[in-house]
Amino acid sequence: MAWDSSRPVPWNRLIREWLIYAAIMSAVFVVFFRGDNVLGAIAGVLISGPLYLAFGAAMAKFGYQRTRLKDVRGAAKASEGASPPASGARSDDEPRPKPPPTSRTAGGGSRPKSSSRRKR
């Protein structure tokens, strides 16, 4: 897509995502790099903020919108209710039919008889 200066930039979303990233990465750096240069690592995380926001804003102006989980769930629910079930498909309200008996189940009929029977 082409650059469109009238496209909105989701600043709140970009800032929230970066803050979550910065908090997690800062915690990881503090835990794993205790004796080393933690301040330099955290400074690097802080420097990444304006870069992330600038790149995200440019991508938004080009028309990129990342799909949110909320949108994916909404689309799945909408497609679930819109299409009728196929002829062989069952709905969730119907109980599941019993499978046919096999040699491993009690209905197989080819079980060996017990050699010792109880005497009463």
DSSP, res 83: S
The rounded Cα 1 to chain-centroid distance in angstroms is 27
Q: What distance in Å separates the CA atoms of residue 53 and residue 68, rounded to the nearest whole number?
A: 18
Question: pLDDT of 22-77, one tens digit each?
Answer: 999 999 999 988 777 888 889 999 999 999 999 999 999 999 888 888 888 888 88
Instruction: Indicate if the pLDDT at residue 110 is higher than 70.
Output: no
Contacts 24+ apart (CB under 8 A), 42-47: 45/21, 46/22
Give 67-85 pLDDT, tens digit per residue. 888 888 888 888 876 655 5
The C-alpha R_g of the chain, in whole angstroms, comes to 30
Q: Is the overall model pTM greater than 0.85, yes or no?
A: no
Amino acid at the residue 13? R
